[in-house]
Amino acid sequence: MATLTMQDVTKQFGRKVIAVKEFNLEVQDQEFLVLLGPSGCGKTTAMRMVAGLEEVTNGRILIGDRDVTDLPPRNRNVSMIFQNYAVWPHMTVFDNIGFALKLKKMPKDEIEKTVKEVAGMTNIDMLLERYPSQLSGGQQQRVAVARAIAVYPEIFLMDEPLSNLDAKLRVSMRTELKAIHDKTEATTVFVTHDQSEAMSMADRIVIMKDGEVIQVGSPDDVYHRSASIFVADFIGTPPTNFLEVDVKSENGDYRLVNPHVDFKPESHISESLRDYDKKNLILGIRPENIVLTNQKDAVLSAECLVSEPQGSHQVVAIQLDQQYIKVIASAQPKINPGETVHLAFKQDTLRLFDPETTLAIGD
């Protein structure tokens, strides 16, 4: 396999539409990297430029030490798996997998050996004589994966390959795709707008917005150390809660205050505030880091608006003015609407953001 490097890559459509802007990225050998972002953020366009399906307006793309920016797709040694499987309906599974090998004029015995090998990797070795119409969606996706593996490309590209599957099958296919990646020791770039897919599969995640890279990091990095309000809001279900608070200082001590909360932050937060010269900020806290407590220790008390049972836990929603705050609590005791809840924050998990730049404070 190989590394993938994108240097200042830009894609512009017409005079005004910039789909990808000055994109810089290095994907390591054997890494599973996920491009994540909302629809229209440029992640698929970035992948299509790597595949050679879109021309690069500016910048360079390298696979290993080869500059492939201007090469046609067939000369890049890249395999791409599409959202809609793209398996040929008139061919058996065996012929679908072996088609590219026939084009390369590989001997028949080598084709048979390779097809059976990759069919075994993807658990479809018992389906080789069937046609796509005789397969489930998950089985067709495995055929597409096997076909991509068969040519032993330097780079695997996967464009939302699980989006056409039902919810249960998507979860199981995540595990299978990551296991196949580990078996093949592939360098893989996976595009999705589904954060749970990204979090469960990626070695690193590239979060995109409006054609630009917002943050690159491990799943833990982007979840626990979100670089901006956008990332903190986009990653996590339910998403991060945000509170506007004023910074009060007296004799070197700080308090974070708004009409609903008034508390003294722990020392590591106070240290961040010493270099912060503004009087207000955005406090971000994830629902699982708000805990039920007694009235004495509470930072915030309010009536439960709605409780959403989730089996292993419940999601408790309260309303502060026009804003909803969500809390992930244990399933028992059951909290009912109208019941007063007393809440405290796990302070080591609090995230502070500048309301003007929307960037994290204190990193």
Give the three-class secondary structure for 12: strand
Give the three-class secondary structure for 358: coil
CATH architecture of 241-353: Beta Barrel (2.40)
Task: Give the model's pLDDT for residue 265.
Answer: 86
By CB atoms closer than 10 A (0-12, 13-18, 19+), residue 190 is buried
pLDDT tens, residue by residue, 131-149: 999 998 888 888 988 898 8
What's the average model confidence in pLDDT over 187-216? Answer: 94
Q: What is the mean pLDDT of the chain?
A: 91
Task: Give the model's pLDDT for residue 174.
Answer: 87
Instruction: Give domain limits for the chain.
Output: 4-234, 241-353
Here the tokens at position 28 are 């390591």
Alpha-carbon span 166 to 39, nearest angstrom: 20
- pLDDT for residue 305 is more than 70: yes
Which backbone phi and psi does 311 adopt, to 5 degrees?
Answer: 85, -80
Alpha-carbon span 46 to 6, nearest angstrom: 9
**One CATH from 3.20.20.10, 3.40.50.300, 3.90.850.10, 3.20.20.70 for 4-234:** 3.40.50.300
Task: Give the model's pLDDT for residue 71.
Answer: 95
Task: Give the model's pLDDT for residue 95.
Answer: 93
CA geometry: angle 228, 234, 237, nearest 5 deg? 130
Here the tokens at position 47 are 């992948």
DSSP 76-89: S-EEEE-TT----T
Cis amide leading into 238 (omega within 30)? yes
Under the banding of pLDDT at 50, 70 and 90, the label for residue 122 is confident
Q: Which of 221, 276, 291 is nearest to 245 (CA)?
A: 276
Which of 155-164, 300-309, 321-330 is the least confident region?
155-164
- 277 CB contacts (<8 Å, ≥6 apart)? none
In sequence order, the β-bridge partners of residue 78 are 155
Task: Give the model's pLDDT for residue 1.
Answer: 64
Under the banding of pLDDT at 50, 70 and 90, the label for residue 363 is low
- 261 CB contacts (<8 Å, ≥6 apart)? 243, 245, 299, 300
Count CB atoms within 10 A of the CB of residue 238.
16
pLDDT tens, residue by residue, 51-94: 999 999 999 999 999 999 999 998 999 998 887 778 889 999 99
pLDDT tens, residue by residue, 235-259: 998 999 999 999 998 777 889 999 9
Alpha-carbon span 321 to 239, nearest angstrom: 19
Which backbone phi and psi does 324 adopt, to 5 degrees?
Answer: -100, 135
